[in-house]
Amino acid sequence: MSNQTSVTEFLLLGVTDIQELNPILFVIFFTIYFVNITGNGAILMIVILDPRLHSPMYFFLGNLACLDICFSTVTLPKMLQNLLSTNKAISFLGCITQLHFFHFLGSTEAMLLPVMAFDRFVAICRPLHYSVIMNHQLCIHMTVTIWTVGFFHALLHSVMTSRLSFCGPNHVHHFFCDIKPLLDLACGNTELNLWLLNTVTGTIALTPFFLTFLSYFYIITYLFLKTRSCSMLHKALSTCASHFMVVVLLYVPVLFTYIRPASGSSLDQDRIIAIMYSVVTPALNPLIYTLRNKEVRSALNRKVRRWL
C-alpha cells in the first residue's frame, strides 16, 4: 500500500465550510446520535429480554436496531470530533477501514429489509404455514447470509480503493471516507472502481429494493383478491407501515447517491443525502417502530413499570 501512494492521511472537510455553524451542528448531531443509541438500544434490549417478542419479525427488528447503532457509529463520532477540532485528519488505514464498515453495514441493512418484507408476506399470505416456513433455522441462515454478503461486498470496495494511488491533494470533500470522494482524489485510472460502484453497489441496492416492493405487491394483490375488503386490506397493511417507512427513508437517498452518474453529482448534495441515510434515518427507525408497533410499545411499558 505504501508503495502505491504518497498520501499517509486524509483531511475530512466535514459537513459545511462555515466554521461558525460547527458548534450548532455538534449539538444537533450529538442529540440525533443519542436518540439513535438510546432508541435502538432499547429495542434491541426489549427484543432480547422479552419472551413475547421471540419471533422472526422481532428477531429481524433486533438485527435492524443493531445495524443502525453500528452504522451511525462508523461515521458520527469522527464527525462530532471534527466539528470541535481543528485537526480533521484521518489516517490512510483509518479511512479505508471506515469506508469498509460503512458499506458493510449499509449494504447489510439494505439486504435485511427485503427479508423483513418476506417475513410479513408469509405472515399475511401464508399464516397457517408461517411457523413452518419462517422457522428458526431459516431465520438464522438468512441473517448469516446477508451479513456475509455485505461484508464481502464492502471488502471488494475497500481493497480496490486501497490499491489506488493517492499522490495529493488529500482533502476529502465529505464528513467520512466514502468511495466517490476518494476516487476524485486518486491518481490514475479509476474506471474499474466506478464500474464496480455502479454495477455491484447498484445491484446490492436495486435488487433488495425490487424484492421489497414485490413482497408488498403480492400482499396487496393477495388481500384484494381474497377479501375484496378495503378495511381488511388497510388493517393488514397497517402492520407493514413501519417497515415500509423505513424502506423509503433508506432506499430513496441511497439510490439517488449511488445510482446516478458521478459526473452529475454535487458535493454539497451528496453530503446532505449522506446525512439523511447515515445519521437521520437510523435515529428515526426506533421512533417509527415504537410509535406504530403496539407490541414493542407494550413491552417497553412493561419494562419501564418493572424498573420503576
Taking residues 176-193, report their average pLDDT: 89
pLDDT at 246 over 90: no
Which one, of 96, 104, 31, lies nearest residue 70 by Cα? 104
Of 12-16, 100-104, 226-230, which range is least confident? 226-230
What does the pLDDT average to over 234-250? 72
Helix (H, G, I), strand (E, B) or coil at 280: helix
Using CA atoms, how far apart are residues 32 and 35, in angstroms rounded to an integer?
5
The answer to whether residue 237 scores a pLDDT higher than 60 is: yes
Tens-digit pLDDT profile for residues 44-96? 988 898 888 889 988 999 999 999 999 999 999 999 999 988 888 999 999 99
**Model pTM score:** 0.87
Does residue 259 carry a pLDDT above 70? no
The overall average pLDDT reported for the chain is 84
> Which range (6-10, 73-77, 115-119, 251-255) has the least confidence?
251-255
- pLDDT at 216 > cutoff 90: no
Cα separations in angstroms, 255 against 119, 155, 235: 24, 20, 30
61 within 8 A of 289, measured Cβ to Cβ: yes
The DSSP result for 125-144, as a single string, is H-GGGHHHHT-HHHHHHHHH
- Burial tier of 214 (Cβ tally within 10 Å: 0-12, 13-18, 19+): middle
Helices (H), the chain: 22-49, 56-84, 92-125, 130-133, 136-162, 179-185, 191-196, 202-227, 230-238, 241-258, 267-275, 281-292, 294-307
With a cut of 60, say whether residue 3 has pLDDT above it. no
| Cα–Cα distance, 26 to 14 (Å, whole number) | 11
